[in-house]
Amino acid sequence: MNLHAVIVVFDIIVFLFAISVHESAHAWMANRLGDPTARMLGRISLNPIRHIDLFGTILLPLIAAITGAPLLGWAKPTPVDTRNFKHLVRDDILTSLIGPISNFIIAVGCFVLLGIITKTSLTGHRVVHDIVSSGSLDTSSILTPFAALLYEGIFINVLLGIFNLIPLPPLDGSHVLRHFLPDGVRRMFDMAGIAILWILVLLRVPFLGPLLGPAMDIFRNNLMRL
């Protein structure tokens, strides 16, 4: 298996775990706030099979792996019945935001584990710094696959977290904005937002780069200081 294939496999593993955590977090928070819909459907689970969407979880990542495009996709939406919430606006926003927050928590966890690898030995320090600075993998060290997997964990979880915070339907960030719009504008926002998002994705407009770059630089710079 060549190096590119290894990275693709790592990306898929991390992606499936990241979306499972993301959707489970939505389901868990909704249940805590009074809506058991997702819990009753078994969506509080890290089993990716429970969250797979044919296009967003299988076909789109497969296309990205074949073409070399950035790995991007989504899981089957977590069903939420907002009528069960005691405080509609607050609870809907909390349920929506916990998904991206869970991805950022996973990214920080991966960062901490990479920091531990860096401090274990000179080899660990070199392996992590090579991955962060140039993306090169030292195939002679047993630490390399673990470090590479963790670094992909940071990248993909930050990517998913930022992507889902974009305030366009049906992404999580839209749930924050839509509650503050008049009814007529909200309906237009829901319809137009989905169209705008698809246009951005299909035309491969680099709208994530300006957001993802600075966020990843925070992790990279701090790893290089270790």
Contact by Cβ (8 Å): 158, 215:
yes
Looking at this protein, which amino acid is placed at residue 95? T
More confident residue, 22 or 183: 22
Compute the distance between CA of residue 108 and CA of residue 189 in angstroms, rounded to an integer: 33
**pTM passes above 0.85:** yes
Tell me the pLDDT tens digit for each residue of 96-134. 999 999 999 999 999 999 999 999 999 999 999 999 998
- With cut-offs at 50, 70 and 90, classify the pLDDT of residue 187: confident
